[in-house]
Amino acid sequence: MRNTNRLRPIFLTFEQWLPRWSLQHRLCCSKPVSVHSNEESRADKFKTQIATGPRFHYFVKGASINKQQPVITDDLIDTDKHAYLPEDSESGNSRTVCFETYGCQMNVNDTEIAWSILQKKGYQRTSDVAEADVVLLVTCSIREKAEQTIWNRLRQLTAMKKRRLKTRVPMKIGVLGCMAERLKSELLEREKLLDVLAGPDAYRDLPRLLSVAHGGQQASNVLLSLEETYADVMPVHHSPQGYSAFVSIMRGCDNMCSYCIVPFTRGRERSRPVSSILEEVHILSEQGVKEVTLLGQNVNSYRDTSEEQFCSSEPGQLSRGFRTVYRARPGGLRFADLLDRVSLIDPDMRIRFTSPHPKDFPDEVLQLIKERANICKQIHLPAQSGSSTVLQAMRRGYSREAYLELVDNIKRIIPGVSLSSDFISGFCGETEEDHLQTLSLIREVRYNVGFLFAYSMRKKTHAFHRLQDDVPAEVKQRRLEELICMFREEATKVNSALIGRTQLVLVEGESKRSAQDLCGRNDGNLKVIFPRQEVAGQPTDTHTSPINPGDYVLVKVHFHSAVAVSYDVFYHTESQQDFSLSIILYV
Ligand code: SAM
Ligand code: SF4
C-alpha cells in the first residue's frame, strides 16, 4: 500500500514541515520525555527536529541521498535520465535498420557495437536499404576518396527517401564514426542530407538520437571520450559464416603521425579491461568461432590499467631503435600479457591482431608469437616509407635502419613469418630518391601482402598546417603504381616458396570465382582457393566427408599468384595442435 502521508518537501515551506517532523519523531520515540522549562524544551525540540529531519540535499531534486534517512523513499528520487521523455521513447518499436560499413575493420567492429545497442532497444536488422526505416552509414575519413564515396551515397539515399511513399514510416539517415566526427556541422547543414550524426564514442546515445530524429528533428552527438571502450557492450558478430570474429581491445591513437586524421576522429588511446576481452573471447569460443582478430588503431600499444595491482612504475618496452612522440606511460597490463591470456582460451582458435605500430614489438611479444601454435605467424608492420627523411616528416618515430633491424629481428625469432605493410606514395616533400628508397625497402623486406595508398591531405593534421602537399597528383599515382608492381613481383617470389608445402587452411566458404571451389586462409592470412571435394578425417581414414566452412583442412600448394594461392586438399584436421603433428608427419 502506498503511504499517502509521505512528505513532499518540494512543495512545503520550512514552517510547514517542522510540525510534521516533530510529530513523526514523537510517535517514533520510545524514550520517556523529560520535563523542562518551556524555553529549554522548545530549544531541545528544535535541535532534535534538526538532527532527525531531512538534510539539505533532500530538497535538491536528483541529489544522492543517504537511504538511512527516516522518511526518504525511493520514489522521491528522480533516477530517470531523460525525465522529460516518455519511458519507451528510445524503443525501436521493431523499426528496421540497415547498416552500410565503409573503411577498416574497426568500422566493422563499430557496426557490431552500434547494432548490439540498437538491437537491445527493439530495432530489427535488414540488409535491404529499400526495406529500412533507418539507414546508418559507418564511415571512414582516412582519405578524401573514402569521404567522397559517402557523400555520393548520401545523395542517393536522400533521393530514395524523397521517393518513399507517404504511407510508409519516413526513412531516417544517419552517419556514424570518423566522418561524423570530422565534419560535424558540415554534414548536418550541407544539403540537409542527414537526420542523425554519432561520433565513434557516442554509439550508446544512438537510441536517444534516433528517437529525436523519429520526432522530426536532426540529432547529433560527436563528443569524444577519454574512457569509452564499449567494454560492456557485447558486439553482435555478423560475419556471414560466423567462424571468424573481430574483438576490439583498444580505441584511439596518441601517435599523431603528421599525415593522419585518426587521432582527431577517434580521440585518445584507451584500452579495454583485459577481463572483458577474455570474457568475449570465451563466449566466441563457445559459439564455435575459430579465428579471432584483436583490433585497435595501435593494437600492440595495448595497456590496461584498470586493475591496480598491475600498475607498476615500469615504462612499456619499445622495439629497439624506436621512440614515441608522446612520453611512454608506465604500468598496466601490456599487449604480451593480453595475447598470452587470449591465446590460452582455446588452442583451436586462431589469434590475429591488427593494426599494430612497429614501435611496440619488444622481443617478449615476438617470442610469444613464435611459441604459441594458435597465434598466427603473420605480422602487419606498416612502414609508410623507406626513406628516413620522409619518415621523419611523417613523425613516425623510427628510421629506415631501425625498421630494417626490426624486420631482421622478427625473421630471426619467427622463421617463416608472413609480413605485410602499409605505404604512402607522394607524401609532402617526397623526392624521386626517397621513392627509390621505398622501392628498395619493399625489395629487401619481401612482404607477402601490401596496402598501398597515394597521399591524401587531411585538414587538422600537422602536415596540413606545416607541410606542402607538393607532389603532383600524377606523380603520386605513378609512384603508387611502381610500388604496386614491386609488391606484386616480390610477393610472387615469396609465395612461390610455398609450392609443394603443406599449409593449414581455415575454410571460409564458397570461392567468389566459382561454386566448384572453396576458399579459406592459411596461417599467413593468404587467401587459398581449392576445389570443393570430400576428404578423409585422417590420412589413414577410408571414410570421407564434405568440407564445410569453419573446418581446418591440410592442403598442399599447387599453384600461386601474388594474391591467391590454389591448393590440393589433403585432409580435415581438428586443431592447430594436430597441424603441428601433421607437419612433422607429412612435409
Ligand atoms: N596505426 C597504423 C599505423 O601506425 O601504421 C595504421 C592505421 S591507419 C588507420 C591505416 C593506413 O592508412 C596507414 O597505415 C596509412 O598507410 C594510411 N593513411 C593514413 N592517413 C593517410 C593519408 N592522409 N593519406 C594516405 N594514406 C593514409
Ligand atoms: Fe594514424 Fe599514425 Fe595513429 Fe596509425 S599510428 S592511426 S597512422 S596517427
- For the beta sheet containing 172-177, the strands, ordered from the edge strand earlier in sequence to the opposite edge, are 124-125, 96-101, 134-139, 172-177, 196-198, 219-221
**C-beta of residue 196 within 8 angstroms of C-beta of residue 175:** yes
CA of 137 relative to ligand 1 center, distance in Å? 21
Residues 291-339: tens digit of each pLDDT: 999 999 999 999 998 875 555 556 667 777 777 766 666 678 999 999 9
Query: Which ligand 2 atom is at minimum distance from the Cα of 422?
Result: 7
Which range is least confidently modeled, 89-93, 295-299, 377-381, 460-464?
89-93
Four-point Cα dihedral 63, 64, 68, 73, nearest 10: 60
Residue pointed to by grid coordinates 621523419: 392
> In this predicted model, which residue has the larger pLDDT, 436 or 555?
436
Residues 340-392: tens digit of each pLDDT: 999 999 999 999 999 999 999 999 999 999 999 999 999 999 999 999 999 99
What is the pLDDT confidence band of residue 58, given thresholds at 50, 70 and 90? very low
Residue 379 CA to residue 555 CA, distance in Å, equals: 22
CA of 487 relative to ligand 1 center, distance in Å? 18
Look at residues 244, 201, 239 and name the one whose alpha carbon lies nearest to residue 354: 244
Residues 524-581: tens digit of each pLDDT: 998 888 888 888 777 677 788 888 898 888 888 776 554 444 444 544 454 444 333 2
Nearest bound ligand to the CA of residue 300:
1
Q: Is 262 in the pocket of ligand 2 (CB under 6 A)?
A: yes
CA of 422 relative to ligand 1 center, distance in Å? 7
Taking the whole predicted model, whether its pTM rises above 0.85 is answered as no
The DSSP letter of residue 400 is: H
Nearest bound ligand to the CA of residue 258:
2
Asked whether the predicted pLDDT for residue 442 surpasses 50, the reply is yes
Look at residues 506, 501, 508, 502 and name the one whose alpha carbon lies nearest to residue 552: 506
Mutate which of 105, 253, 456 for ligand 2? The one with the most ligand atoms within 8 Å of its CB, which is 253
Q: Is 381 in the pocket of ligand 1 (CB under 6 A)?
A: no
Residues 180-205: tens digit of each pLDDT: 998 887 888 776 789 999 999 999 99
Residues 385-420: tens digit of each pLDDT: 999 999 999 999 999 999 999 999 999 999 999 999
Asked whether the predicted pLDDT for residue 90 surpasses 80, the reply is no
**C-beta of residue 464 within 8 angstroms of C-beta of residue 457:** yes
**C-beta of residue 378 within 8 angstroms of C-beta of residue 418:** yes
**288: left (phi > 0), else alpha (psi -120 to 50), else beta?**
left
**E-only strand ranges, 250-393:** 250-251, 270-271, 291-295, 303-304, 333-334, 350-354, 378-380
CA of 490 relative to ligand 2 center, distance in Å? 26
Burial of 83 (0-12, 13-18, 19+ CB in 10 A): exposed
pLDDT of residue 32: 34
Q: Which amino acid is at 272?
A: R
Q: What is the mean pLDDT of the chain?
A: 81
pLDDT of residue 557: 77
